[in-house]
Structure 1
Amino acid sequence: MTARRATIERRTAETDIRVELDLDGAGVFEAATGVGFFEHMLHQIARHALIDLSVSANGDLHIDDHHTVEDVGIVLGQALREALGDKRGIMRYGHAYVPLDEALSRVVIDFSGRPGLFFRADFTAEKIGTFDTELVREFFGGVAAGAAMTLHMDNLAGANAHHIAETLFKAFGRALRGAVARDERAMDALPSTKEHL
């Protein structure tokens, strides 16, 4: 069985990022980004998607976290796209509902080849610690673009901003796990009647 791994590096004037992932991992995670809450959220993706994920990022944090968070999203998306190869034999679609106390979020993924983020979440606070909650959308916009996936994210309930964010990241991980799973009934088939993704 072909290994589904990727390593992507991206350097700009604002960030220097390296992402390594293994889609058939066990949820092993390591990160050094300088953004603590963001690393906590990335860990949720790795654990709930059951992918091994390593992220290192050196960004212009003296300005703010924006470039680092968005660019990690882009590179993570590119790594997902490379690791999936031609997408033969995958489920393609994944969805999950995840609660955390009063918060509930739904995420639906389609590795369609058509990038798009449809994000419906209103945070109850502008910051979680020092982390700007608007960066959740920026991160997932980068992931969707880099992976060429259609990504729907809806927060359905929640009062605590930390809980809202965490349900979105966990639900993304669970949906990702389903979408990249191998389809034992169609291992050599492309999951599209167009024969192109």
Structure 2
Amino acid sequence: MRTATIRRDTSETKIAVTVNLDGTGAYAVNTGVGFFDHMLEQLSRHSLIDMDVTCDGDLHIDQHHTVEDTALALGAAIAQALADKRGIRRYGDALSPMDETLTRVALDISGRPWLVWKTAFTQTRLGEMDTEMFQHFFHSFAQAAGITLHIETLYGDNNHHIAESAFKGLARALRQAVEIDPRKADAIPSTKGSL
């Protein structure tokens, strides 16, 4: 079982994240930010990565520390569960339609964190969540997980759909990338011999 638990306690947040890369998409999520919880639930369900995520953050200030630190802990947990990355497919991509919106996500579990973000919102908030925090989530997640991540909304009008298609696209791409390739289950997927 490829599992990991990360605890992150600071003066701003107290976070516990457990992941199982070989799960069924079961989740228990509570960050105190409803829309963010909804997005993390989508990430778990569509990636088939079991996730248990709790965060007690300084929401009386704003959501920044809660979203950022949760992303860092979740990315670190996935990186730890991947260990030496032996046998994984490494690459994943998805076209994620949601009604009028279409988002393209591509990623490489490369050990070289990077985010290309070509997505925009016309609202400043969705529910209680500041829309500027979406880019920050994906950036922090990619950094901590060691993932090269490209997210581009090709078109779309509804801000809820734009956000959700990005999270679902990440989920589907991540599902592909972390899967064990039965043709090379004992090999590191790199000519360098390490990732």
Report the TM-score range of the alignment, normalised by the length of the smaller protein. over 0.9
- The code of the aligned residue for 1:128 comes to L
SS in 2 for 1:135: helix
1:112 aligns to what?
A: 110
**Cα deviation digits, residues 120-160 of structure 1 (max 9, x gap):** 10112111122111111111111101111111111111101
Q: Give runs of aligned pairs for residues 1-197 of structure 1, distance below 5 A.
A: 3-197=1-195
Contact 2:34 2:127 in 1 (8 A): no
Moved over 2 A (4+): none
The alignment covers a number of residue pairs equal to 195
Distance in 1, matches of 2:128 and 2:56, equals 18
Contact 2:34 2:128 in 1 (8 A): no
**Cα deviation digits, residues 55-85 of structure 1 (max 9, x gap):** 0001000011111001100000000000001
Please report how far the alpha carbon of residue 54 of structure 1 lies from its aligned counterpart in structure 2 after TM superposition: 0.5
Distance in 2, matches of 1:131 and 1:70, equals 13
Distance in 1, matches of 2:163 and 2:5, equals 27
SS in 1 for 2:102: strand
Q: Which TM-score applies when normalising by structure 2?
A: 0.99
Higher mean displacement: 97-106 or 123-132 = 123-132
Q: Which TM-score applies when normalising by structure 1?
A: 0.98
Distance in 1, matches of 2:128 and 2:171, equals 24
